[in-house]
Amino acid sequence: MFNLLLLLLCISIPSYIYAEDIKGLQPLQPYGVFSTFSAESLRSKELGIAIGIERTRSPDFYRITTQAAYGLRDDMELHINIPYMLRYEQSIYGFEDLCLGFKHRVIDEGRYNPALAYLLMASPGIGNSEFTTDGRIGAGLIISKKVGPFRGHGNLLIYAPFRSGLNREYLLNLGAELAIAHSTRVLGELVGRKNYFINRIDLLEWRIGLRQEVYEQTFVTIGAGFDIKDLKPQYRLMLLLSYIIPTKKEPLKRVYE
């Protein structure tokens, strides 16, 4: 009798519980380190677009994420991320919930003080049933400071899902960039997470990589991640391509005397 009840319980667990790695809002490169936002923003009326490809082992999946961001002002920008999951555990395909965001820098970086910004996030629950939270809202704080060739960032992000039975997700992201050439940055990041499905810290992932400006305002970012807590994932490989469309330059006016 006990075995029969256990079997029925397992069958009744909804499939979304297996999709533990749900993508939240991500920064547009070069204004961040993989998942860690910088307080720096696009300039007013600038548009940035990007596509990212991710391969993760245990859980096994591929993910393609398209991104766009638009500078409302020099200190404000809008974001949209659209992630698509491929071959999750070899057989599940589908869109995750798209994520919308608004970033506002409220304190500019000074000689001694860091820059400070906040994030507001929202996701309509329109993703595949295995990957949706039925919608969510979120908020976060961003701090950034440059010291010599290093630039460091810290984020604290919170997501509240609409689906009953899920927990809030908390993320603490720490990222650093080291300028080794005019157009080349070495990247390092540490991500700590308590996700929607487990009421404890389930991820402590160390990531390293490189970002190169291969052409004017065109960036290629590569990286690898390793969970140093439970080896879930065992590894994560990332490739991101991003392009910042500059605003139209005003022609120089010559003054004749």
Residue 18 domain-assigned (yes or no): yes
What's the chain's length in residues? 257
**Distance between CA atoms of residues 71 and 244, nearest Å:** 11
Residue 255 domain-assigned (yes or no): no
65 and 82 in contact (C-beta within 8 Å)? Answer: yes
What domain count does the chain have?
1
221 and 240 in contact (C-beta within 8 Å)? Answer: yes
**Distance between CA atoms of residues 19 and 178, nearest Å:** 34
The one-letter code for the residue type at 133 is T
Residue 250 domain-assigned (yes or no): no
Residue carrying structure tokens 């859980």: 59
In DSSP terms, which residues pair with 103 in a beta bridge? 77, 119
pLDDT score of 4: 41
- Structural domain including 22 reads 2-245
CATH of the domain at 56: 2.40.160.40
121 and 139 in contact (C-beta within 8 Å)? Answer: yes
In DSSP terms, which residues pair with 174 in a beta bridge? 154, 190
**Distance between CA atoms of residues 160 and 139, nearest Å:** 9
Cα radius of gyration (the chain): 20
Phi, psi of 182 (to 5 degrees): -60, -35
pLDDT score of 48: 97
pLDDT score of 229: 83
Phi, psi of 19 (to 5 degrees): -85, 70
User: Are β-strands 47-57 and 92-95 bridged in parallel, bridged antiparallel, or unpaired?
Assistant: unpaired
Residue 253 domain-assigned (yes or no): no
**Distance between CA atoms of residues 224 and 163, nearest Å:** 32
Phi, psi of 3 (to 5 degrees): -65, -40
Q: What is the pLDDT of residues 116-138, one digit of tens each?
A: 999 999 999 898 888 889 999 99
Report the SS3 class of residue 87: strand
Quote the longest CA-to-CA distance of the chain. 99
Residue 20 domain-assigned (yes or no): yes
Residue 257 domain-assigned (yes or no): no
Task: Kindly provide the residue ranges of all beta strands, DSSP E only, lying in 28-88, ordered along the sequence.
Answer: 32-33, 36-37, 47-57, 61-73, 76-88
Residue 254 domain-assigned (yes or no): no
pLDDT one digit per residue (tens) for the chain, 257 residues: 434 433 433 333 344 434 568 888 999 999 999 999 999 999 999 999 999 999 999 889 999 999 999 999 999 999 999 999 998 888 889 999 999 999 999 999 999 999 999 999 999 989 888 888 999 999 999 999 999 999 999 999 999 999 998 999 999 999 999 999 999 999 999 999 998 988 888 899 999 999 999 999 999 999 999 998 888 889 999 999 999 998 766 555 555 44
pTM for the complete prediction? 0.87
